[in-house]
Amino acid sequence: MRYKEIRQFNFPLHRYLGLAIGIILAIVGLTGSALVFQSELDHAAVTLQYGRIVPEAYRLSPEVVLNKVKTKTIDANKEAIVIASIDLATASDLPDKVKIRLSNNESIEIFVNPYTGNILGDRPDHNLFKWIYQLHDHLLIGKIGNLEIGKIIVGIIAFLFLVINLTGVILWDGWRKLPQGFTIQWQAKSLRLNYDIHKVVGILAVIFLTFTAFTGFLWNFKLDKPLARLITRSSTRLRPTTLESKPTKDCSILSLTAILQIADAALPNAVTTKIKLPETPNEVFKVHKKFPQEHGQMGHSRVAIDPYSGEILELKNGLNLPLYQQVLDSFEEIHYGTFAGLPTRILYVLVGVTPLILLITGLVMYIHRHPKVKKIDKSPNLSSLAQTAKKLTILKFKPSIDEF
């Protein structure tokens, strides 16, 4: 197949797929950019609202913090509450964040001074960033029965975006002359400048757009674990799908301090970042930890502990992960741009804006090549039509790709 024929096949596919799903791609891209620095922005918002905490020499234990929260919230709400989790502050001037669940199943986040135990304030669990995440993940479209319709739609969009990226690479001018593919003629007319911006922005971002689209497609169709097993040739899962405790007759639960001592002994030198508490008799403690060498804010280490016996049901060391888990974690790092730290996170903010740029420049090219058709007489003169057909025959008229 000749190059011209390849272009003629890929050009309409690239154009009309881009126009069809461009708005959704722009929404997903912009929300993805907003989520790259979600933690930092959230911390800034909390600090702006409640002020910065003055660090002290002694920090309260998580158990003491939770007891203070439980006492004060029971007095305030006068109803049963369940403490779901506590996120320990990642910096000395930030508050701990405790998530509680009320009897009506509503969740509230409570901010606590980790040095004094004073409650600074609270907010609903469904905050702005949760809304942005849900828009990014499933377009705020819920389930119909057991089908996650929003996730399926975004997954299909991600697959079509892969096709757009592939066809865009095929159509790129740089294959004929490499410097031309990376050149923007800033002094050229507006239409030429628009085209140059489209091709250069597209080719520079295509690798990272492909990464995010591919991993998003895997997650939304739950293909990440099968692919990881295929890559690593692993025939078994890394861990059981559910972790259940073994309640005793008196259902006496170990103290949180005892649970943390078990977790610290299992993963020494790792810092505790989050504790997920059991909300039902069959659930377990999940202590998330992070070694200094690990990427990401929360780390990849975790200890799951039976709340009654103290038995370790799962141990995950972020520095010594099986290859299968490393591949799974790499999908997350590739999607969120955390694989090289701050530089790639900044890069991913820019990458998230590119679908909007490509949509706008693509629309400009489409409108230019498809001007409004002038109205014609519904009963044209037959002789004039014959003359026009004769002229086209003489000129051997052939439509070019620009006519589509």
pLDDT tens digit sequence for 210-227: 999 999 999 999 999 999
Q: What is the arithmetic mean of pLDDT over 345-368?
A: 96
Q: What is the arithmetic mean of pLDDT over 134-159?
A: 94
d(C-alpha 142, C-alpha 306), whole Å: 34
d(C-alpha 269, C-alpha 292), whole Å: 8
Percent of residues, the chain, with pLDDT higher than 90: 68
Lowest mean pLDDT among 69-73, 130-134, 188-192: 69-73
pTM, to two decimals:
0.83
Q: To 5 degrees, how large is the angle CA 396–CA 402–CA 404? A: 90
Q: What is the mean pLDDT of the chain?
A: 88
Note the pLDDT of residue 294.
86
> In 126-187, where do the E strands start and end?
143-144, 147-148
Residue 387 pLDDT more than 80? no
d(C-alpha 88, C-alpha 70), whole Å: 16
d(C-alpha 69, C-alpha 109), whole Å: 11
Structure-token pair, residue 164: 């757009």
Tracing tokens 């708005």 back to the chain, one arrives at 23
Percent of residues, the chain, with pLDDT higher than 70: 87
* pLDDT band, very low/low/confident/very high, at 257 (cuts 50, 70, 90): very high
b/e sequence 199-237, b meaning 16+ C-beta within 10 Å: bbbbbebbebbbbbbbbbbbbbeeebbeebbeebebeee
pLDDT tens digit sequence for 26-79: 999 999 999 999 999 999 999 999 989 999 999 999 999 999 998 877 655 556
Note the pLDDT of residue 241.
52
Structure-token pair, residue 204: 């520079």
Helices (H), 51-148: 62-77, 128-138
* pLDDT band, very low/low/confident/very high, at 115 (cuts 50, 70, 90): very high
